[in-house]
Structure 1
Amino acid sequence: MWLINLTIVLLLILANGIFAMTELALLSSKKSKLQQYADDGKKSAQIALDFLERPTDLLSTVQVGITLIGIINGAFGGAALSAPLIDWLAGFEWLAPYASTIGYVVVVTIITYLSLVVGELVPKRIALVSPERVTMILAQPMRIFSSVLKPFIFILSKSTSVIFRMIGLDRLQTEDETEDEVKQLLIRGTKEGTFATSEAEQVSRVFAFHDQLAYELMEPRTVTEWIDLTDSPDEILADLRSAKHRNLPVGHGDLDHFVGYVDAKEILASEQPIAVIESMIHTPLIVPKQLQATVLLERMRKETVSIAFVLDEYGGFLGIITLFDILEAFVGEISTVEEEPELVQRTDGSYLADGLLHIDDLKRVLDIKTELPGEAKNSYHTVAGLVLYLLGEFPVRGSHVTSNGYRFEVVDLDGRRIDQILIERLEDPVDETSL
């Protein structure tokens, strides 16, 4: 009889482990993975998805099972299993007065230990290692158990729903994976070697692109190559031949009076470039500076254009955006033979940065995790903008500021535009702004 009781207790502990493992495995499973298995024809995956749609049913099933196990365990454990040990201890005269207490405590301690290790810890560790696999193995047995106990589970589910409504929660809600969670997965995957660094960077750029606006992607007016129709024919021809870009804005006197854009290669291929230039002007896509980058890309795709003009609220010309600029937003800077890289590390460890370098690219290279001054307010989007923000006035050559452990010094100006900035790491970072 004692052996039967022991067998029942051990089986109950194993059953408790199965319930605990099922609950944690299902709640830890990725819905996307289960859906993929279900699409491949695995019925157990579909059962698991059904449980995820009604989590209260699962929790009720598990709780009923664990409660029943606890009740039955109480009947067959403890006193029943401790009887032989108590009889044996009673054979020692000096232990006889305490035999019942000692025997009961020893048996309960052993059962508790086995319940924790075999009935909880080990099953839950297994569930965390391979949640989807465990879920698909146990989903069908759990559904059968749920069907048998359906009346009890129905009462529990309804009771839970009523209480949830009473405290203001209509239903259990599970949040989708957020952008930050995906980024953390990428960081962990990169460290573990699951993802290449370049792959993680590309995915991060996709998230960043979703948050960007048109004026963050544009080539600003100050560096935009363009054709002035008021120039002499020789000057126009020279500008067409020396241009680094193929599509060039066309204006009368200045870019605020633009009329469109031309394909420099197409015009130069004609027999009389100057004579045909006005007839070959194309109408550009006009976008406001606050337009979301994703919307801009969709509009350029639908209207089959490769260039867009960015205007401010007053209709002033701010800059241009090409498909090449959008490509760089996804894959990073692409330097051509004619272009100098925007950020160059020197032999002494310092950096020489183009004033137009985007602040996100700078932070990525310098591994700056905290926000820069004024960044949260979108006060600027380039390194030159950061320097101007900290200085509070137009700089001269040699003007410098410090922020986030780095010193930023203006080393070259193109008129009033900051052209080159020297960036050095500070030995003892101190925030200051100085000329």
Structure 2
Amino acid sequence: MEFIIILLLLILNGIFAMYEIALVSSSKARLETLVGKGNKRAKGVLKQLEEPEKFLSTIQIGITLIGIVSGAYGGATIADDVEPLFALIPEVAAYAKTLAMITVVAIITYLSLIIGELVPKSIALNNPERWATMLSPFMIVLTKISYPFVCLLSASTKLMNKLIGLNSGEERQMTQDELKMILHQSSEQGVIDKDETEMLRDVFRFSDKRANDLMTYRRDIVVLHPTDTPEEVLRIIHEEHFSKYLLVERGKDEIIGVVSVKDIILMMGGEQPFNLRSIARPALFIPESLYAKKVLELFKKNKNKFGVVVDEYGNTEGIITLHDLTESIFGDILEENETEEEEIVVRQDGSMLVEASMNLDDFMEAMGIMNYDDLKEEDFTTLSGLAMFLIGRVPKAGDLFSYKNLDFEVVDMDRGRVDKLLVIKKEEDE
């Protein structure tokens, strides 16, 4: 009979332990979804999460009382029943009482861990929202019964938290690393498909990128001049297929403004003389170090989709468009009349010809290299920057360098900038 009472106490302890883990492990988002589906118990759990001290105090009172009762009752009562068994053994008869007590304590401790803690908590962790909603009515009743003690413990807990500088009412904000971990786990479990996972990862990367990471470099900018004839302008438009062009005096640092193809065509179809200056709109200048998120905010504020990226001295470094920002999240989006260019071309011998302007993160992902933390703190985001960093000077054609299981060779330069790299991937482990 005594053993059955102890077993029931341990099962009750397990229920308390199960609810404790279920409550603290429950996702508010999932509970809110259940509330939206009409689950009234889920609403009760959400309310409990707003005042966790009360319910955790109830649980702790229950667990403590069960521990005291089972320990005292088991040691005093069951040990007396076990003692005669040891007394039958002559060699240990003199220590029968002590051995009986040790045996009973060991058995109760073992059962407490298995039945009262480990198994219930494992079950609760498997589906915390289910068990929290299932047990919440029981816990609400217990909380009301033990209300005076709960108030005392809750007040004491809040006081201690205040003394050590903790604000129990302040909800902890989830960090970006935690969100990334949730994303990784959701992807591994198949909750989010591969394309959605990659898109969400690009959203995190977007917040870390700057204007000079996404811009079209100065050397690749196609410009128009006020002295260009209509025939020359039309030829450039037909060859390049851009919707907007920079209008400059002589060099790319002498910017007059931005002209759109639409305005050029309208001007040509009208009666006014051909004058690119007359249709040029003021350029939106963007510091090269400005984060992509801030660039997007500037575009919204100025109702613009085209910006000129400049360095600290006002020199033109490149141009950036809303299309560039969009592609950094959604991947390559081909505009009308735009042809796709491969950044990595695999040759017959297995080597790869790679554009040096390729984003470092995209390249490492394509190469299957996940761990390159030693490079992430450096001030570059392209393969061209990687080449300069590893070589230690301005590269020149024929320069060789390596990283992990990759061998690089600079095969083409364009006005002092690395244009193309030859990459050979070795088979040995990284």
Contact 1:229–1:253 (Cα < 8 Å) also in 2: no
Pick from 268, 271, 274: which aligns with 2:269? Answer: 271
Aligned mates of 2:340, 2:194 — CA distance in 1: 25
2:423 aligned with 1:423: yes
The residue number in structure 2 matching 1:27 is 24
2:247 match: secondary structure: strand
Aligned mates of 1:279, 1:61 — CA distance in 2: 77
Specify the code of the residue in structure 2 equivalent to 1:271. Answer: G
The residue number in structure 2 matching 1:325 is 324
Residues 182, 347 of structure 1: CA spacing in aligned structure 2 closer, same or farther, 3 A cutoff?
A: farther
2:253 match: secondary structure: strand
Task: After TM superposition, list the pairs within 5 Å mapping 1:242-391 onto structure 2.
Answer: 242-264=239-261, 267-268=264-265, 270-271=268-269, 275=274, 277-334=276-333, 338-366=339-367, 367-373=369-375, 375-378=376-379, 380-391=380-391
Residues 155, 234 of structure 1: CA spacing in aligned structure 2 closer, same or farther, 3 A cutoff?
A: same
1:69 match: secondary structure: helix
Aligned mates of 1:416, 1:111 — CA distance in 2: 78
TM-score (norm 1): 0.86
The residue number in structure 1 matching 2:153 is 156
Post-superposition offset of 1:377: 3.9
Q: Map Cα deviations across residues 176-232 of structure 1 (whole Å, 9 max, x no partner).
A: 332222222333333333332222211110001012122221111110111122344
Residues 396, 288 of structure 1: CA spacing in aligned structure 2 closer, same or farther, 3 A cutoff?
A: closer
The residue number in structure 2 matching 1:47 is 44
Post-superposition offset of 1:45: 2.4
Deviates more, 1:12-21 or 1:259-268: 259-268
The residue number in structure 2 matching 1:226 is 223
Aligned mates of 1:229, 1:220 — CA distance in 2: 22
Post-superposition offset of 1:419: 1.4
Post-superposition offset of 1:86: 4.4
Aligned mates of 1:166, 1:152 — CA distance in 2: 21
Pick from 124, 132, 136: which aligns with 1:135? Answer: 132
2:274 match: secondary structure: helix
Aligned mates of 1:394, 1:92 — CA distance in 2: 89
Aligned mates of 2:313, 2:344 — CA distance in 1: 33
2:358 match: secondary structure: coil
Residues 376, 84 of structure 1: CA spacing in aligned structure 2 closer, same or farther, 3 A cutoff?
A: closer
Specify the code of the residue in structure 2 equivalent to 1:390. Answer: L
The residue number in structure 2 matching 1:397 is 397
The residue number in structure 1 matching 2:77 is 80
1:256 match: secondary structure: coil
Aligned mates of 2:135, 2:399 — CA distance in 1: 68
RMSD of equivalent CA atoms? 3.0
1:402 match: secondary structure: strand
Q: Map Cα deviations across residues 145-176 of structure 1 (whole Å, 9 max, x no partner).
A: 12221221222222223333333334376633
Residues 86, 207 of structure 1: CA spacing in aligned structure 2 closer, same or farther, 3 A cutoff?
A: same
Specify the code of the residue in structure 1 equivalent to 2:69. Answer: I
Contact 1:372–1:403 (Cα < 8 Å) also in 2: no
Post-superposition offset of 1:292: 2.1
TM-score (norm 2): 0.87
The alignment covers a number of residue pairs equal to 425
List alignment gaps of at least 5 residues for structure 1: 431-435
Q: Map Cα deviations across residues 258-308 of structure 1 (whole Å, 9 max, x no partner).
A: 222222255347437981544433334332223221222233234433222
2:113 aligned with 1:122: no
Q: Map Cα deviations across residues 286-340 of structure 1 (whole Å, 9 max, x no partner).
A: 3222322122223323443322222223322222112221121002234676342
Aligned mates of 1:23, 1:347 — CA distance in 2: 61
Post-superposition offset of 1:75: 4.6
Post-superposition offset of 1:126: 0.8
Specify the code of the residue in structure 1 equivalent to 2:286. Answer: V
Post-superposition offset of 1:133: 1.2
Contact 1:9–1:77 (Cα < 8 Å) also in 2: yes
Contact 2:230–2:274 (Cα < 8 Å) also in 1: no
Specify the code of the residue in structure 1 equivalent to 2:223. Answer: W
Aligned mates of 2:89, 2:393 — CA distance in 1: 95
Contact 2:357–2:384 (Cα < 8 Å) also in 1: yes
The residue number in structure 1 matching 2:172 is 175
Contact 1:229–1:236 (Cα < 8 Å) also in 2: no
The residue number in structure 2 matching 1:214 is 211
Q: Map Cα deviations across residues 70-98 of structure 1 (whole Å, 9 max, x no partner).
A: 22223542332344454566678888656
1:209 match: secondary structure: helix
Contact 1:355–1:418 (Cα < 8 Å) also in 2: yes
Aligned mates of 1:38, 1:309 — CA distance in 2: 50
Aligned mates of 1:85, 1:343 — CA distance in 2: 78
Aligned mates of 1:26, 1:429 — CA distance in 2: 45
Post-superposition offset of 1:428: 7.5
Deviates more, 1:246-255 or 1:189-198: 189-198
Residues 371, 86 of structure 1: CA spacing in aligned structure 2 closer, same or farther, 3 A cutoff?
A: closer
Deviates more, 1:421-430 or 1:123-132: 421-430
